[in-house]
Structure 1
Amino acid sequence: MMDNTAQQKVQKFEEFVDKRLKPDLVHAVAERDKVFAQQKVFSDLRKNIEALQNNEVASLRTLVNLGSEVYVQADIPCTRSICVDIGLGFHVEFTWHEALEFIRIREARLASQVEEYTHLIASIKAQIKLVCEGIRELLQIPV
Structure 2
Amino acid sequence: MAPQNAPASEAPPGAVNINSLSSQQLRALQSRLSSELEHLTSSHAKLRAAQSKFRDCVRSINEGVVGKSAGESKEEQGILVPLTSSLYVRGKLADREKVLVDVGTGFYVEKTAPKAIEFYEDKVKGLEANLVELEKVVQTKSSQQRLFEEALRQKLLSEGAAAGGTAAAAG
Provide TM-score, normalisation by structure 2: 0.67
1:12 equivalenced with 2:64 (yes/no): no
Residue 3 of structure 1: aligned partner: none
Q: What is the CA-CA distance between 1:85 and the residue it aligns to?
A: 1.6
Asked if the contact 2:23–2:155 (Cα under 8 Å) also holds between the matched residues in 1, the reply is: yes
Change over 3 Å in CA distance of 1:116–1:131 after alignment to 2 = same
The 4+ residue runs of structure 1 with deviation greater than 6 A are none
- Name the CA distance, whole Å, in 1 between partners of 2:34 and 2:86: 36
Give the number of aligned pairs. Answer: 134
| CA spacing shift, 1:133–1:26, aligned 2, 3 Å | same
Q: 2:22 corresponds to which letter in structure 1?
A: K
2:137 maps to 120
8 A contact 1:58–1:77 mirrored in 2:
no
- Structure 1 gap segments, 5+ residues each: 1-5
Aligned-pair CA distance for 1:26: 0.8
More helix by share: 1
> How far apart are 1:140 and its partner, in Å?
4.0
* Unpaired stretches in structure 2, ≥5 consecutive residues: 1-18, 159-171
- Greater fraction of residues in strand: 1
Partner of 2:44: 32
**Superposition deviation, residue 27 in structure 1:** 0.7
What CA RMSD, in Å, does the superposition of the two structures yield over aligned residues? 2.5
Q: Paired residue for 2:78?
A: 61
Larger radius of gyration: 2
Q: CA deviation at 1:110?
A: 0.6
Q: What is the aligned partner in structure 1 of residue 166 from structure 2? A: none
Query: How many Å separate the matches in 1 of 2:87 and 2:60?
Result: 22
Contact 1:46-1:100 at 8 Å conserved across structures: yes
Structure 1 residue 123: deviation in Å?
1.3
CA distances 1:43-101 after superposition (whole Å, capped 9, x unpaired): 11112222343438734533333447554443312221111222222221110111111
